Amino acid sequence: CGPCRTLTPMIEKAVRAAGGAVKLVKIDVDKNPAYAGQLRVQSIPTVYAFVNGQPVDGFQGAIPESQIKAFIDKLTGGTSANSDIEQILSLGEESLSLNDFGGAAQAFDQVLTLDPGNEKAIAGMARVYLADGDVDQARQTIAMAPQDSRDPAVQSVRAHLSLASTAPSGESAGLEARLAADPNDHQARFDLAQAQAASGDLQAAVDNLLKIVAADREWNEQAARKQLLTVFEAAGATSEVARDGRRRLSSLLFA
């Protein structure tokens, strides 16, 4: 039935996120009419929750995903599985900060086993690939997240990938030589900032882009200011790079 096809993936996702605290059993009432009679099923889909062999809760129809989550949380106490996932995510983030990419990948993979749609774990795994220089795999991984995702971690990875795709080819040394010869070569400084951002040196990229804004904020249709916004998003809104960079940019624009 249509409502069944709508409900099934949502309830499967909620059960996986419960980390084993709940087991999902599906019954075809056409093949097992006795169950439908015993439970007084009037329409499908009908969902019952059993504890110690006794029905304790239930609902009919394809309810919203938020209500399904609340239904599962009510059964589990709403803490154990979610708490486990949060702890594993924290472990993955800590491993990334220590450049332990193997440990980070293991943690994020564990979360995705419990909750395949977890956007923070998807973004975390993509960051592992980025750190390893595998841009193509990072792009494939982040594509698992919804296109309209507003999760800051997902947006950060997508900004990183945008920076990587626009990085100029060639060695940074040549750009630095051009700047040494002419500090007002904004194109060379802009290209250098792009290369620095693509390699992960976001602070250096911010510094160079701010120098362009300070010298000529209108250069190339405000390209430096626009690029700064992408770098800030890649760094993360709460990062020191983004917070300090935004403060410095504001002081230049509104001085």
Among 104, 130, 145, residue at a domain's last position = 145
Domain holding 128: CATH number?
1.25.40.10
pLDDT band for position 79 (cuts 50, 70, 90): low
pLDDT at 162: 95
Instruction: Tell whether 160 is covered by a domain.
Output: no
Say which range, 34-38, 153-157, 180-184, 204-208, has the weakest mean pLDDT: 34-38
List of residues 6+ apart from 70 with CB closer than 8 A:
none
Q: 96 and 67 share a domain? A: no
Q: Residue 1 catalytic?
A: yes
Among 39, 61, 76, residue at a domain's last position = 76
Average pLDDT over residues 76-100: 82
pLDDT at 78: 59
Q: Do the Cβ atoms of 139 and 161 come closer than 8 Å?
A: yes
Mean pLDDT of the chain: 91
Q: 137 and 199 share a domain? A: no
Instruction: Tell whether 62 is covered by a domain.
Output: yes
Q: Residue 4 catalytic?
A: yes
Distances (CA, A) of 90 to 107, 169, 233: 9, 36, 21
Instruction: Tell whether 58 is covered by a domain.
Output: yes
Task: Check pLDDT > 80 for residue 69.
Answer: yes
Say how far apart CA 198 and CA 181 lie, in whole Å.
Answer: 24
Q: 71 and 49 share a domain? A: yes
Say whether 43 sits in a helix, a strand or coil.
Answer: coil
Q: Which domain holds residue 58?
A: 2-76
Q: 67 and 102 share a domain? A: no
Q: 69 and 86 share a domain? A: no
Instruction: Tell whether 204 is covered by a domain.
Output: yes
pLDDT at 80: 52
Q: 49 and 27 share a domain? A: yes
pLDDT at 83: 67
Q: What is the pLDDT of residues 46-55, one digit of tens each?
A: 999 998 888 8
Instruction: Tell whether 161 is covered by a domain.
Output: no
Q: 52 and 93 share a domain? A: no
Instruction: Tell whether 158 is covered by a domain.
Output: no
Instruction: Tell whether 100 is covered by a domain.
Output: yes
- Report the number of distinct structural domains present in the chain: 3
Q: What is the pLDDT of residues 157-191, one digit of tens each?
A: 999 999 999 888 778 999 999 999 999 999 999 99
Instruction: Tell whether 198 is covered by a domain.
Output: yes
Q: Among the options 3, 4, 40, 133, which is catalytic?
A: 4
Task: Check pLDDT > 70 for residue 82.
Answer: no
pLDDT at 123: 98
CA contacts within 13 A on the Cβ side of 84: 16
Q: 21 and 91 share a domain? A: no
**In the block, residue with structure tokens 């439970």:** 39
Q: 68 and 101 share a domain? A: no
Q: 58 and 8 share a domain? A: yes
Q: What is the pLDDT of residues 11-32, one digit of tens each?
A: 998 888 777 778 899 988 888 8
Write the single-letter amino acid at 175: L
Q: 176 and 249 share a domain? A: yes
Q: Among the options 1, 177, 180, 237, which is catalytic?
A: 1
